[in-house]
Amino acid sequence: MKTRSRKAKGRRLQNWVKEKLLESFPGLTEDDVAGAVMGESGVDIKLSTKAKELIPYCIECKNKETLKGIYDIMSQANSHRKKDETAIAVIKMNQHEPLVVVDAEHFIYLIKEKHD
């Protein structure tokens, strides 16, 4: 994949996250939630002080095909869940802390519910 295509793919994911956060928190504006410029160091979703009060997270976006294994784990979790349950995956690598993987829409719902 060409560099330009990779950057565009990453930018699309950043824009999706930005738009979902702005939809979920109507009190925030484009000045409060912004995607980083491709190649810029630091977080991928830049939050204003006001936004950080509502969304206390450091958001890194990765749109890569090599993450397929995590999607396989989530597919397995989804295949076992009951109608009223939310699928999550707890993953861990040697010498790293365990991580929880949850659907992005559900995560945004959780942080929104915290402030409603």
The tens digit of pLDDT for each residue in 48-70 reads 999 999 999 999 999 988 888 99
Same structural domain for residues 58 and 77?
no
Binning the chain into helix, strand and coil, the percentages to the nearest 5 are: 50, 10, 40
pLDDT in the model for residue 52:
96
99: confidence class by pLDDT, cuts 50, 70, 90? very high
Would you state the structure tokens that stand for residue 6, as one six-digit string? Answer: 């990779």
Same structural domain for residues 53 and 23?
yes
pTM over 0.75: yes
- What's the number of domains the chain is made of? 2
**Whole-number Å distance between alpha carbons of 50 and 99:** 27
Is the confidence at residue 89, as pLDDT, over 90?
yes
Question: Mean of the pLDDT values across residues 70-86?
Answer: 95
Question: Mean of the pLDDT values across residues 25-43?
Answer: 93
Same structural domain for residues 75 and 111?
yes
Is the confidence at residue 40, as pLDDT, over 90?
no
Range of the domain at 8: 1-63
For residue 83, CA distances in Å to 78, 86, 95 come to 10, 8, 35
Question: Looking at 31, 48, 63, which one is the last position of a domain?
Answer: 63
- 3-16: per-residue pLDDT in tens? 888 889 989 999 99
Same structural domain for residues 53 and 72?
no
pLDDT in the model for residue 6:
85
Same structural domain for residues 56 and 10?
yes
39: left (phi over 0), alpha (psi -120 to 50) or beta: left
Contacts made by residues 34-40, CB under 8 angstroms, sequence distance 24+: 35/11, 38/7, 38/10, 38/11, 39/7
For the chain, the average pLDDT equals 94
Name the nearest CA neighbour of 104 among 46, 36, 20, 48. Answer: 20
